[in-house]
Amino acid sequence: METLEQKVAKVSSKGQVVIPAAIREQLGIERGTQLSFRVEGGRMIVDPQSLEAKLQRIRSVRGITAGGPSGTDLLLEDRWQERERQLREDGW
């Protein structure tokens, strides 16, 4: 997902903020989209909760481990080795 230039918005007297259009488009935020808020390291993190926004986040990390070992294969290999170790300890 490309990074947009920084945008600034003011908080109204009612605590409302307008999310800039370019950011709404990039994140798939539409009217009625729910947002979750949390504080992390002194910063406010806002995550859109729409299905489209979640799919965009998933797409943005797709393939980052391409070419590496499969997580499933690594887990199965670890479990197999643990089973063999346990059988040896049990005298099999």
pLDDT digits (tens, 9 = 90+) for 16-71: 999 999 998 888 888 888 898 999 999 999 888 877 777 777 777 777 777 777 78
Residue 76 pLDDT more than 70? yes
Residue 1 pLDDT more than 70? no
Domain 1-64 class, CATH top level: mainly beta
Strands 35-40 and 43-48: antiparallel
- Confidence grade of residue 2 (pLDDT, cut at 50, 70, 90): low
**With a threshold of 0.85, does the pTM exceed it?**
no
Q: 2 vs 22, which has greater pLDDT? A: 22
pLDDT at 44: 93
pLDDT at 50: 74
Domain definitions of the chain by residue range: 1-64
Query: And the tokens for 5?
Result: 């230039």
